[in-house]
Amino acid sequence: MYNKSILFINPPSPFLEDPLVMPPLGIMYLSSYLKSKGINTNIYDASITNNKIPKSEITAFTSTTPQYNYTLNLLKNIKHETVKVIGGPHASSFMNCLDDNFNVSISGEGEIVLESLCNTEFTKNSYMSGIPINNINTLPFPDRDWDGFKKYKYKINDYNFTTAMTSRGCPYKCNFCFNIFGNKVRFMSPDKVLEEAKLIKNHYGFDGVMYYDDTFTINIDRVKKIIKGLKNIDLKFRCFVRANTVNYEILKMLKDNGCVEVGMGAESGSQYILNSMNKQVNVEQTKNVIKICNKIGLRIKPFFMVGYPGENIETINMTKEFIRDTKPPDFNITIYTPFPGTQVWSEYHKKDSKLDIEFKEPIDYNKMFYKSVEGRYSSNVRTSNLSYEDIEISRSEIESLKDYIKGCY
| Residue 45 β-bridge partners | 10
- Print the SS3 string covering 292-310: HHHHHCCEEEEEEEECCCC
Task: Let me know if residue 144 belongs to a domain.
Answer: no
160 with 307, same domain: the answer is yes
CA angle 223, 342, 101 (to 5 degrees): 105
252 with 315, same domain: the answer is yes
Query: DSSP states of 170-209 as a string?
Result: -S---TT---TT-SS-EEPPHHHHHHHHHIIIIIS--SEE
188 with 52, same domain: the answer is no
pLDDT of residue 376: 81
From the list 340, 300, 299, the residue with the least C-alpha distance to 97 is 340
Q: Give backbone dihedrals phi and psi of 32, rounded to 5 degrees, phi first.
A: -65, -35
280 with 195, same domain: the answer is yes
Task: Let me know if residue 393 belongs to a domain.
Answer: no
The sign one gets for the Cα dihedral 172, 178, 182, 186 is negative
Pairing label, strands 358-359, 381-382 = antiparallel
pLDDT tens digits for 190-227?
Answer: 999 999 999 999 999 999 999 999 999 999 999 999 99
pTM of the entire structure? 0.94
Neighbours of 221 (CB within 10 A): 7
175 with 292, same domain: the answer is yes
pLDDT at 140 exceeding the cut of 90: yes
Grade residue 94 by pLDDT with cuts at 50, 70 and 90.
confident
Please name the amino acid found at residue 236: K
Who has greater pLDDT, 66 or 196? 196
Task: Let me know if residue 108 belongs to a domain.
Answer: yes
Buried b / exposed e along 26-58 (16+ C-beta atoms within 10 A): bbbbbbbbbeeeebebebbbbbbeeeebeebbb
pLDDT tens digits for 355-384?
Answer: 999 999 887 777 777 777 777 889 999 999
Task: Let me know if residue 25 belongs to a domain.
Answer: yes
107 with 13, same domain: the answer is yes
Separation between Cα atoms, residue 372 and residue 388, nearest integer Å = 17
pLDDT of residue 2: 59
Helix or strand run (H / E) with residue 8: strand 6-10
What residues make up the domain containing 50? 6-129
Grade residue 146 by pLDDT with cuts at 50, 70 and 90.
very high
21 with 166, same domain: the answer is no
pLDDT at 1 exceeding the cut of 70: no
Neighbours of 80 (CB within 10 A): 10
Separation between Cα atoms, residue 286 and residue 322, nearest integer Å = 10
Neighbours of 325 (CB within 10 A): 11
Contact between 393 and 316 (Cβ < 8 Å): no
Q: Give backbone dihedrals phi and psi of 394, rounded to 5 degrees, phi first.
A: -60, -40
Task: Let me know if residue 350 belongs to a domain.
Answer: no
Query: Which of 283, 298, 329 is the C-terminal boundary of a domain?
Result: 329
pLDDT of residue 4: 87
164 with 288, same domain: the answer is yes
Q: What number is the average pLDDT over the span 26-35? A: 97
Query: Which of 297, 329, 361 is the C-terminal boundary of a domain?
Result: 329
* Burial degree of 147 (CB within 10 A; 0-12, 13-18, 19+): exposed
- Region of 369 (left: φ > 0; alpha: ψ -120 to 50; beta: rest) is beta
pLDDT tens digits for 254-304?
Answer: 999 999 999 999 999 999 999 999 999 999 999 999 999 999 999 999 999
Who has greater pLDDT, 122 or 143? 143
For residue 382, what is the DSSP state?
A: E
pLDDT at 66 exceeding the cut of 60: yes
Separation between Cα atoms, residue 400 and residue 273, nearest integer Å = 22
Q: How far is CA 9 from CA 17, 35, 180, 374, in A?
A: 21, 16, 19, 28
Separation between Cα atoms, residue 163 and residue 138, nearest integer Å = 19
Grade residue 407 by pLDDT with cuts at 50, 70 and 90.
confident
Task: Let me know if residue 250 belongs to a domain.
Answer: yes
pLDDT tens digits for 31-52?
Answer: 999 999 999 999 999 999 999 9
pLDDT at 20 exceeding the cut of 90: yes
200 with 123, same domain: the answer is no
Give the number of domains in the chain.
2
207 with 268, same domain: the answer is yes
What's the whole-number average pLDDT of the chain? 94
Contacts of 354 (CB under 8 A, 6+ apart): none
Query: Which of 329, 363, 397 is the C-terminal boundary of a domain?
Result: 329
Task: Let me know if residue 284 belongs to a domain.
Answer: yes
Contact between 69 and 97 (Cβ < 8 Å): no
Give me the percent of the chain exceeding a pLDDT of 90: 83
CATH number of domain containing 200 = 3.20.20.70
Neighbours of 188 (CB within 10 A): 23
Helix or strand run (H / E) with residue 44: strand 41-45
pLDDT of residue 98: 62
CATH number of domain containing 69 = 3.40.50.280
Task: Let me know if residue 402 belongs to a domain.
Answer: no
Grade residue 97 by pLDDT with cuts at 50, 70 and 90.
low
CA 220 from chain centre, in angstroms, equals: 22
119 with 217, same domain: the answer is no
197 with 114, same domain: the answer is no
pLDDT at 72 exceeding the cut of 80: yes
pLDDT of residue 363: 77
pLDDT of residue 96: 61
pLDDT of residue 172: 95
